[in-house]
Amino acid sequence: MAQITLKNLAHSYLAHPRGEQDFALKAMDHVWQDGGAYALLGSSGCGKTTLLNIISGLLRPSQGRVLFGDRDVTDAETAERNIAQVFQFPVVYDTMTLRDNLAFPLRNRGKDTAYIARRVEQIARMIGMEAILDRKARGLTADAKQKISLGRGMVREDVNAILFDEPLTVIDPHMKWELRTQLKRLHREFGHTMIYVTHDQTEALTFADKVVVMYDGRVVQMGTPEELFETPAHTFVGYFIGSPGMNLLPAEIRGNTAHLGGASVPLDAAYGPVPGRAQIGIRPEYAVLTEGDGLPISIRRVEDVGRHRIVRGEVAGHGVNVIAPEGMPIGPALTHVRFTPDRINVYADDWRVAPAKGIR
Amino acid sequence: MRLRGSPLVMTLYLLFLLVPIYWLVNMSLKTNAEITSTFTLLPSNLTFRNYAVILTDPSWYMGYVNSIIYVVMNTVISITVALPAAYAFSRYSFMGDKHLFFWLLTNRMSPPAVFALPFFQLYSSVGLFDTHIAVALAHCLFNVPLAVWILEGFMRGVPKEIDETAYIDGYSFPRFFVKIFMPLIASGIGVAAFFCFMFSWVELLLSRTLTSVNAKPIAATMTRTVSASGMDWGVLAAAGVLTIIPGALVIYFVRNYIAKGFALGRV
Amino acid sequence: MEKTLNNKAWFLVLPVLVIVAFSAIVPLMTVVNYAVNDTFGNNEFFWVGLEWFEEMVTSDRLHEALGRQILFSAIILAIEVPLGIYIALNMPKRGFWASLCLVLMALPLLIPFNVVGTIWQIFGRVDIGLLGRYLAEFGFDYNYTNDPLDAWITVIVMDVWHWTSLVALLCYAGLQSIPNAYYQAAKVDQASRWAVFRYIELPKMAGVLLIAVLLRFMDSFMIYTEPFVVTGGGPGNSTTFLSIDLVKMAIGQFDLGPAAAFSIMYFLVILLVSWIFYTVMTNLDKEEGK
């Protein structure tokens, strides 16, 4: 087990990248703590799988180094890195029995038979397949096969890290939840470093201690689920996390006030001059409909999603969503929306700016 | 990511394939005197006389025309009858379907030598001897089953929901088949046509048995010339080279489907 | 795929039936007719029952041809199948070189059988052929028209030249269908090259490999033109395979009765082997589809 360090890492699939736009993964420096449960979250094509394959050694980065602990493994083969990886689509060895499938990584590393037998039984129990260990893998359903893949990923105890590449895509929703819980339990039990790639925020937020959000080849934020929710470092994080995402409104920031068109919104801290395109971001959860306090809003639509209602409206020509608690009457009297000042984030060119004195 | 192959192995193998062909081309560009008297790796006296002989003598070049006529006829017939049959096999189960399919396959496997003589008598008795259609029909013996087999493999890959959607949208069966289904398996049709072309083009035993003058294929013309005119090696080689060209052209057009086609659409 | 029961599907199969009946059943009936009759010409036949069959079953000539045939098919399968797999594993995966290899490899398959024969007939000749000439120069006493062993080697090398690509292309198609993740997983699992072949590549190739073996077995079992052009069945009868013998008998000597009996037995053998392959193959298909 080891801490994973990425130093000035970047990757391009082209042999001679000509500019930043040719890089699938833009230069980054990151440290992944030993024993952490990380989720790598982002929409498809943002470079998450590329990053994962670089860590596992299936891809060699165009520049930068990968360190496991103090050891530079940039040029090391996958096998030397001693990691496990579970892929998006199930990979099972069709002609082998389930038992042999699970034992395969151990046998290839020359473990002794008794240990292998014990370990395979243990893993089989965990994925709930101890009863059918002796049948061939051919002809199993996709989710059964994926469980085998997961089992094979976890069968080795001494791995540096276990990497998951959207492993639950082919699994039924109710099984998803169960398997995720199991993974989480395993993580607590054995303390492996786990990196879990997904585009599903629920999956990421429930699995990980730390969520790494990627956007357009960059890691835009690495933080706890709470940090991602409260202080998104990039407008993409605000928009991607949460349902619906953060409201973003162009504004002019002067001291501790944001000016939108003719109206103004109080902020709870003073900001220095904001360079570039300035925006304020507010979660729908922290916006409240009022009868006259705040900004004028014209309500377009109300959606009832059960626990609460989503009010879709417009403020100064920009779409704004507000979450209203179930049971609160929404009538024509509600003409304004108030943003909770200490929940407002300020963005310059999509990146979050901290208040001037660093206080809230 | 797939494990890399060795270019050396491929180079050696391709050399093994190409050297005999190279030798044929080499010979076709030499004079007979050079072929028999000296041994040269490249024609020292480059000549196109051998090709000129073939392309100016109707008894030679008509051989190519005849071959192409019956090959095309055979391909068209085979594909036309195989399409509905393959559809039936891929979509429906009906009385005796498995036996029928197997029986069709056995025809692909049956030795032409067994059929040569009966074909000769059959076609003679109905007055089809020495016509293009006779050879085209005879080649259906192995090409129709093959076409059914390949097309069935490709059709199986088309989800049945497409048929059902089309019927719900009010398409009649023939219209659905031509307008929607056939474009979907276009590559399969291409592959099947390629194989019909290929097997009809390379077959000699039946086409030689069933023709004498009017529909005589080029391959048969060649064999006769070998024995009759002594050893006109140059012309023989040139004729051989000319039989390779149509095949090479066809391969070039279907190159991206060859592998899948050889697997009869079952990959 | 679930198939609907529909006996009207017979109408769709009808054209195929008509065509194949005309080109297979009618001629086959003629053959049967010959097999049980004798004739002295003039289309007069008289019934001889199974006499021709008896004669053929006990004839040394047939036994020898059959023995040669089985030996030949066994040898070329033993060479072409492993070689074809090996070549497929070494082919470039994509891009220009892959297309080039595909086209060049398919080339021998598209050459008329007798031209294949002609190419090797010329290529192996000591006086004008590249191969024969060089072998002679290096001191090999090679002459396929005199020496039965040389004739066999020539015919086998020719068949390998002609058909190995078919096996290779089939295997290549099978290999292409393996998702990349399998190779990645194998790397992560630290599988050896052999394990990758044994547990990933070979199972994926099994289906197409069976087709390859089936086609190669059948086509080699009825091979006629290529060896006939090269050796004419000789020297002596050393390369006279079943089809060559059959044509000699039927068209050369016009022994219609024995030839027909021979044909039918030949056909039955093929039928039997086809059936075995077909059964194995459909079972495999079923397992895949599970």
Choose the most confident range, by mean pLDDT, from A292-301, B101-110, C53-62.
A292-301
Delimit the domains of chain B by residue range.
63-223+249-262
**Dihedral pair phi/psi, residue C57, rounded to 5°:** -60, -35
Delimit the domains of chain C by residue range.
65-251
pLDDT for the residue C132: 81
Q: Cβ separation of C120 and B20 shorter than 8 Å?
A: yes
* Mean pLDDT, rounded, for C244-267: 77
pLDDT for the residue C83: 94
Cα–Cα dist B127/B2, whole Å: 58
pLDDT for the residue B227: 47
Contact call for residues A58 and A87 (beta carbons, < 8 A): no
Domains of chain A: 4-240 (3.40.50.300), 247-353 (2.40.50.140)
Cα–Cα dist A335/B237, whole Å: 93
Kindly identify which residue of chain C lies nearest to residue A152, measuring between CA atoms: C189
CATH of B63-223+249-262, one of 1.10.3720.10, 3.30.460.80, 1.20.1440.230, 1.10.10.370: 1.10.3720.10
Query: Which residues fall within 8 angstroms of residue B126, CB to CB, at 6 or more apart?
Result: none
Which of the 8 DSSP states describes residue B214?
Answer: T
- Compute CA distances C151 → B226, C117, C123, C133, C156, whole Å: 20, 12, 13, 16, 9
pLDDT for the residue A81: 86
Query: With pLDDT > 90 as the criterion, what percentage of chain A qualifies?
Result: 8
Q: Cβ separation of C110 and B112 shorter than 8 Å?
A: no
Task: Give the A:C interface size as CB pairs under 8 Å.
Answer: 56
Residues of A in contact with C189 (CB under 8 A): 104-105, 108, 152
* Mean pLDDT, rounded, for C116-135: 83
Cβ atoms < 10 Å from Cβ of A121? 14
Q: Cβ separation of B95 and C7 shorter than 8 Å?
A: yes
Contact call for residues B134 and B124 (beta carbons, < 8 A): no
pLDDT for the residue B228: 47
Kindly identify which residue of chain C lies nearest to residue A59, measuring between CA atoms: C184
pLDDT for the residue A173: 80
pLDDT for the residue C235: 79
Confidence of residue C82 (pLDDT cuts 50, 70, 90): very high
Kindly identify which residue of chain C lies nearest to residue A89, measuring between CA atoms: C181
Residues of A in contact with C288 (CB under 8 A): 138
Of A198, A239, A242, residue with least CA distance to A352: A239
pLDDT for the residue C286: 62
Q: Given C185, C195, C288, which is nearest A87 (Cβ)?
A: C185
Q: Given B85, B237, B258, which is nearest C12 (Cβ)?
A: B85
Ramachandran class of A82: left when φ > 0, alpha when ψ lies in -120 to 50, beta otherwise: left
**Residue B58: in which H helix or E strand, if any?**
helix B58-91
Q: What is the pLDDT of residues C178-208, one digit of tens each?
A: 888 888 888 888 888 888 888 888 888 887 8
pLDDT for the residue B1: 40
Give A206-210 contacts, CB < 8 A, sequence gap 24+. Answer: A206/A180, A207/A37, A207/A39, A207/A180, A207/A183, A208/A37, A208/A38, A208/A39, A209/A36, A209/A37, A209/A38, A210/A33, A210/A36, A210/A37, A210/A38, A210/A39
pLDDT for the residue B265: 54
pLDDT for the residue C80: 93
Residue that the structure tokens 């006629």 belong to: C224
Q: What is the pLDDT of residues A102-139, one digit of tens each?
A: 999 898 888 888 999 999 998 888 888 888 888 888 87
Residues of chain B whose pLDDT is less than 70? 1-4, 223-231, 258-267
Cα–Cα dist A213/A222, whole Å: 6
Q: What is the pLDDT of residues C12-44, one digit of tens each?
A: 888 888 888 877 787 778 777 777 776 655 566
Q: Contact partners of B by the rule of 3+ C-beta pairs under 8 A?
A: C
Q: Cβ separation of A149 and C185 shorter than 8 Å?
A: yes
**Residue A149: in which H helix or E strand, if any?**
helix A142-154
Distance from CA of B184 to the nearest CA of C (A): 18
Question: What was the ipTM of the complex prediction?
Answer: 0.81
A341, burial (CB in 10 Å: exposed 0-12, middle 13-18, buried 19+): middle
If contacts are CB pairs under 8 Å, which of residues 116-155 in chain A contact chain C? Answer: 138-139, 149, 152
Query: Which residues fall within 8 angstroms of residue A343, CB to CB, at 6 or more apart?
Result: A230, A282, A283, A286
Q: Cβ separation of B87 and C12 shorter than 8 Å?
A: yes
Confidence of residue C81 (pLDDT cuts 50, 70, 90): very high
Q: Given C190, C199, C288, which is nearest A95 (Cβ)?
A: C199
pLDDT for the residue B258: 67
Q: What CATH class is the domain C65-251?
A: mainly alpha
Q: Cβ separation of C190 and A105 shorter than 8 Å?
A: yes
* Mean pLDDT, rounded, for A196-220: 88
* Backbone Cα Rg of chain B: 22
> In a 3-state reduction of DSSP, which class is residue A192?
coil
Q: Cβ separation of C115 and B244 shorter than 8 Å?
A: yes
Q: What is the pLDDT of residues B232-247, one digit of tens each?
A: 788 888 888 888 888 8
Its pTM stands at: 0.79
Q: Is the peptide bond before A244 cis (omega within 30 degrees of 0)?
A: yes
Residues of C in contact with B201 (CB under 8 A): 110, 112
Q: Given C6, C110, C130, which is nearest B247 (Cβ)?
A: C110
Probe site for chain C from B24, B257, B262 (most C CB atoms < 10 A): B262
Q: Is the pLDDT of residue C3 over 80?
A: no
Cα–Cα dist C138/C111, whole Å: 30
* Mean pLDDT, rounded, for A43-63: 87
Take residue A271 and report the two structure tokens written for it. 């900001």
Residues of C in contact with B100 (CB under 8 A): 13
Residues of C in contact with A139 (CB under 8 A): 287, 290
Pairing of strands A210-215, A37-41: parallel
pLDDT for the residue B76: 94
pLDDT for the residue B224: 57
Q: Cβ separation of B112 and C3 shorter than 8 Å?
A: no
Q: Is the pLDDT of residue C289 over 50?
A: no
Probe site for chain C from A87, A98, A146, A164 (most C CB atoms < 10 A): A87
Q: Cβ separation of B113 and C87 shorter than 8 Å?
A: no
B170-194 b/e with 16+ CB inside 10 Å = b?
ebeeeebbeebbeeebeebbbbbbb
Query: With pLDDT > 70 as the criterion, what percentage of chain C qualifies?
Result: 91
pLDDT for the residue C1: 52
